Homo-oligomer: A and B are copies of this chain.
Amino acid sequence: MINQTNVNYGKTRSVIRDIFEYGKLRKAEIGEENVFDFSLGNPSVPSPEEVRTELIKLISETDPVALHGYTSAQGDFSVRKAVADDLNARFKTNFTADSIYMTCGAAASLCITLNALLNAGDEVITFAPFFPEYAVFTANAGGTLKAVECDKNFQPDIEKFAAALTEKTKAVIINSPNNPSGVVYTERVIKSVCAALEKHKKNTGNRIYIISDEPYRELVFGGAYVPFIMNYYSESVVCYSFSKSLSLPGERIGYIAVNNAAEDSKEIYAAVCGAGRALGYVCAPALFQQLIKRVLGKTVDVSVYKMNRDRLCAALTSYGFDVVKPDGAFYLFVKSPGPDANAFAERARAHELLIVPADSFGVKGYVRISYCVSPHTIEKSLPAFKALADEYK
């Protein structure tokens, strides 16, 4: 008998991936332009032009043996130093190269961090709605994910959070800007989360880590402020990916940053290195490590996502949908007109609208619309949304 947990993970896939794969088949059937695929967080805005020019320079001008060779397991030193310097300049932190561990993207960052911190039986808390793979990653690291509800604006409910902390709680995953709601957690909320953890530590001696999963940090609109966790809480780890900020999701490049102020920061960093090793992450892709060093600080043109958000929010609201207007990421969280979001998503599919019911994000009665599509697709999809709304009137 082979491993049935993994057989099941392989057969079920995530709901998101499932709809994405359906979309690919459907597009082949009726033509790409006739399917409105809002399923996947696959960035639609191209990488900044520097990505193309610097990649070509690197490949043309660098000795291929050096360029494509193994780096140190934690990443090339000069790349880690550049990432640390960039963070220090932006957030007044004091990272060194040895605070940074380059990874194969956000999922790798999270899996490695969870395996570094957790022992069998530990609990991890996050706030619903949340990216459903958190549960899979936590389970693989031997732990259990517990979701705490948010308020009606999808900000964490601090009272419920404080009540959920137990002696088994090892870590809290914060994801802001949030997937799937697009909401940016306020500074007041972040401070309250940290205060609850400090109080818990004082009362029980139990040290709880914050894992800040922030691939959407740079995708914010109207100057929304995204607190940097290291400035609020010492026992913290940042999991980052360049997938969204540089539109490189397929290239699997990101990093883990360990807070120098953590009491056992050197142990945490060692555990990160060890977990990366045990999970088979030999090093992050070498070419893209070098690319990152050259384009740090650059981002995609976020104004396209803002335009999509504004257009979609306004239109859906005018059709009668109840929409949570997001400050970041590229997701719109929409209340299902009927109680069953799955049924709603099914009816949407009849209009060739591929949207994801939020049940698997830990919240019932909502759907996620990934608006990382072309403005043209948004425009073309509106009659379908209108027709869908009309069905519920």
Contact = CB atoms under 8 A, between A and B. Distances in A.
B42 A64 contact: no
Nearest to A72: B21
Nearest to A122: B3
Contacts of A111: 278-280
21 contacts: A2-B271, A3-B116, A3-B117, A6-B115, A6-B270, A7-B270, A9-B273, A10-B272, A13-B73, A13-B277, A14-B277, A21-B72, A46-B65, A65-B247, A104-B281, A111-B280, A112-B280, A137-B280, A140-B279, A250-B285, A251-B285
Contact of A70 (B40, B268, B282): B40
A6 B180 CA distance: 31
A326 B389 CA distance: 71
Contacts of A14: 277
A204 interface: no
Given A2-B267, A3-B116, A51-B68, 13 more contacts: A2-B264, A3-B119, A6-B116, A6-B278, A7-B270, A42-B69, A68-B250, A68-B251, A104-B252, A249-B282, A251-B286, A252-B282, A252-B284
B73 A281 contact: no
Given A10-B271, A137-B278, A271-B2, A285 B17 contact: no
A21 B70 CA distance: 12
A283 interface: yes
Nearest to A288: B285
Contact of A52 (B7, B24, B59, B267): B59
Interface in A174-192: none
Contacts of A274: 3, 5-11
A136 interface: yes
A75 B272 CA distance: 27
A139 to B, nearest CB: 7
A96 interface: no
Contacts of A360: none
A108 interface: yes
A224 B254 CA distance: 41
A82 interface: no
A345 interface: no
Kindly state the interface size class of chain A when it binds its partner: 35 or more
**Chain B CB within 10 Å, residue with most, of A46, A63, A136, A285:** A285
9 residue pairs, one from A and one from B, having the closest CB atoms: A250-B286, A9-B274, A10-B274, A111-B280, A10-B270, A10-B273, A6-B274, A107-B280, A140-B278
B3 A115 contact: yes
A56 interface: yes
B56 A70 contact: no
B1 A139 contact: no
Contacts of A284: 252
Contact of A279 (B105, B109, B280): B280
A43 interface: yes
Nearest to A241: B282
A275 B280 CA distance: 12
Contacts of A249: 68-70, 282
A47 interface: yes
Interface string A32-73: 000000001011111100011001100110011101111111
A43 B59 contact: no
A193 interface: no
A182 to B, nearest CB: 19
A278 to B, nearest CB: 4
A385 B3 CA distance: 48
Contacts of A60: 52, 56
A250 B6 contact: no
A116 B2 CA distance: 7
